[in-house]
Amino acid sequence: MLNIAFVGAGSVEFTRQLLRDIFSYPELGGVRLALHDIDPERLEVAEGLARLTAKEHGAAPVVTASLDRRRALDGADVVVNMVAVGGHAATLKDFEVAAEFGVRQTIGDTLGVGGIFRALRTFPLLEGLAADIRAVCPDAWLLNYTNPMAMNLQYLAAIAPEVKAAGLCHSVYWTVRDLSELVGVPFEEVDFHSAGVNHQAWVLKWEHRGRDLYPALDAAIEADPELRRRVRVDMYRRFGRYPTETSEHSSEYVPWYLKDAAEIERLRIPVGDYVTISEGNLAEYARVRDCLARGEYPAPREDEDATEYAPQVIHSLATGERRTIQVTTANTGLISNLPAGAGVEVPATLDRMGVHPHHVGALPPQLAALNRAFLNVVELTVAAAVEGDPAHVRHAAMCDPATAAALPVERIAELCDALTAAHGDGLPAALRRT
């Protein structure tokens, strides 16, 4: 039976979603599950949650918990990383410091100054995690959920190319599911093809029994003015393919929307949204902890429906069942008009041997152009860490579309200095210089 290690298991809501999906497969009921977190209370809560979730599903896994990451990883076949380095406090710094400079963010975890600094404080964790995998489970698959996804996978490919890593995000799944519902066709009967960069990929093909569904989407948009008040609908109408991430996310990766109060109003962009989401995650953790303290199973929220990819990868590794999902991986010619080595998102086949990314070829040129602007920031942020050069942090922020649209160049440098000071020793030592 497979050995699975959860790193950052104290993210209990996410842990619950993953365990629910894992234990829904009868073949995985007896997995060995090792939980790791650096917070003793959260780790204890995660362990209690794992045992109760297994009981709810009639599963009988072997569950262990350890504050020692290497011990938890020892002998693992699959390592699932879901650590948010710095937690809520670091997120608040990303938003509050940027807001003081007049830079608006919605989610702040992928691109922009929030994404850059989240990456810089996450890279040391990834370096240590890769070292542990090489030492105690060199054949394991590292399944990464931690954002910024493209930056994290590109960094791992640069420093530890021998580690088998795949980035997982269900944004493509939910985009196509929601679009299919919008045009009135069953998602289960839809075929689609998507590629690009995580949080800025594109639905290249979308068909129902061989019929192109884009004309039906056009008709729905034409009939409903409120649909036209969404960032990604606006982007679709201008660029010709639908983006696979939510409008609040999508607004942060381009220069046109967040700088303009009228555009924020027109497209109903929720500035600062992730601060509220992060506060909600803290409240949900407290609810789960209190339920477990009473010996109760914390029932999922009514709106919770994960359908996560990691359990599907694990099930395919265990059974050989072939299925296709989306993954972020290093670009080894997979998308021919995006940079080599970049963290790109493409379809991949799963089976007993692992994760097999598909060759996509060239994206439409206008889509590749937007992705390259995104990947410029990714490349410079990774270079800052790999080379230990704080100048590249400023270069990344200057090349970031939304930041550059909001600030003159000297203020961008000052913003980077302020965020460097705010995060302090949460950043790699070489990058703390201003």
pLDDT in tens, the chain (434 residues): 899 999 999 888 788 889 999 999 999 999 999 999 999 999 999 999 999 999 989 999 999 999 999 999 999 999 999 999 999 999 999 999 999 999 999 999 999 999 999 999 999 999 999 999 999 999 999 999 999 999 999 999 999 999 999 999 999 999 999 999 999 999 999 999 999 999 999 999 999 999 999 999 999 999 999 999 999 999 999 999 999 999 999 999 999 999 999 999 999 999 999 999 999 989 989 998 999 888 888 877 554 555 789 999 999 999 999 999 999 999 999 999 999 999 999 999 999 999 999 999 999 999 999 999 999 999 999 999 999 999 999 999 999 999 999 999 999 999 999 999 999 999 999 999 87
Q: How far apart are the C-alpha atoms of 209 and 72, rounded to whole Å?
A: 46
CA-nearest of 168, 136, 137 to 153 is: 168
**Residue 208 appears among annotated catalytic residues:** no
pLDDT on residue 306:
55
Dihedral sign for Cα atoms in the order 200, 205, 211, 214: positive
Other CB atoms within 10 A of residue 202 CB: 28
Amino acid identity, position 68:
D
CA-nearest of 377, 384, 402, 378 to 98 is: 402
The DSSP code for 361 is B
Spatial contact of 157 and 126, defined as CB atoms under 8 Å apart = no
Other CB atoms within 10 A of residue 387 CB: 12
Residues annotated in a binding site: 147, 169, 199, 266
Q: Is 285 left (phi over 0), alpha (psi -120 to 50) or beta?
A: alpha
Q: How far apart are the C-alpha atoms of 416 and 117, rounded to whole Å?
A: 9
Q: How far apart are the C-alpha atoms of 206 and 199, rounded to whole Å?
A: 18
Please calculate the CA angle 16-146-281 and round it to the nearest 5 degrees. Answer: 50
Q: How far apart are the C-alpha atoms of 227 and 219, rounded to whole Å?
A: 11
Which entry of 57, 88, 170, 356 is annotated as an active-site residue? 170
pLDDT on residue 194:
98
pLDDT on residue 305:
54
Give the tokens for residue 102: 């007049």
Q: How far apart are the C-alpha atoms of 9 and 257, rounded to whole Å?
A: 36
Peptide bond preceding 408: is omega within 30 degrees of 0, i.e. cis? Answer: no
pLDDT on residue 185:
98
Residues annotated in a binding site for substrate: 147, 266
